Amino acid sequence: MPTWGGILKELAGSQKSGGAPQFDRVRRKYLVLLHQHEQRAIILYAAKWTQPDPNVSPQLVSIVDEDLQGLMEVIHGISEPNLDLILHSPGGSLDAVEALVLYLRSKFNHIRVIVPQLAMSAATMIACAADEIVLGKHSFLGPIDPQLILTTPLGPRMVPAENILQQFEQAKEECKDPVKLGAWLPMFNQYGPDLLVSCENARALSKKLVRGWLEEWMFKGERDRKTKARRIADWLSNHGYFKSHGRHTDQSLA
């Protein structure tokens, strides 16, 4: 397999009469070679998100419910029982990810997730639902602590659910002093009637799903599968440890 520089040279050489590079032809060439080598079904799920475009909504590069329809179309006619899922994604909807995982597991006996660069957040959760994860030394997963979209005076913001819960606990302590209450009131205006419960539920669900998927598939048959699955789910969801939702993990899960 060539390096990225080699792929760029091949793409440049694929241009005909000043036309555009033949991206799809080159991509399909290497997917076919991988299929011939492994004799497994191959699905490539990749989003252009590492080079953000201000004119493109984050929803268009995130995992959403609509993706399930595309996945069904791609899988139609595949007869191989085993799948290699090449995954490059920033993550997305927790509900959509659960639906994708349940569908994939109903169609294939063995799933191997290959991460060529990054599978973050909810995409990490998909990787944890595989039987095997393949990471290069340059490949990373990420934390799975859920993010909520809050409407603020500065516009919509993605905020870790864990931070909202921690901030509320901090506020309860500091507001015992009436002098500090005024500083907290503008922040309280951002809290909807169900925000704290939503944060708790999202945090609990992400851990529950990853723990269950690891236990059911990746660690199937291992005597300590429950302990290993719980430890990894707790670690990946620990925002206090990672400090940043975009932080890259090492290869502890490889």
- β-partners of residue 190 are none
Residue tagged 């393949």 (tokens):
134
Return the H-helix or E-strand segment holding 41: strand 41-46
Q: Which residue has the tokens 């990749």?
A: 46
pLDDT for the residue 152: 67
**Could you tell me the mean pLDDT of each successive run of 10 residues in the chain, 254 residues long?**
82 77 86 90 91 76 92 93 96 93 97 95 96 93 85 70 83 82 73 80 93 97 95 91 85 54
Q: What is the CA radius of gyration of the chain?
A: 21
Helices (H), ranges, the chain: 4-13, 23-38, 67-75, 94-107, 122-128, 161-174, 178-188, 195-213, 225-236, 239-242
CB atoms within 10 A of CB 2: 10
Other residues' Cβ atoms within 10 Å of the Cβ of residue 100: 24
What integer pLDDT is reported at residue 214 of this predicted model? 97
CA dist 129 → 108, 140, 142, 215, 236 (Å): 12, 16, 15, 9, 14
Contact 47, 61 (CB under 8 A): yes
At residue 254, the pLDDT reads 46
CATH 3.90.226 fits 4-143, yes or no: yes
The pTM score is 0.86
The tokens for 195 are 């925000």
Among residues 149, 143, 142, 87, which one has the least CA distance to residue 115?
87
Alpha carbon distance 86, 67 (integer Å): 15
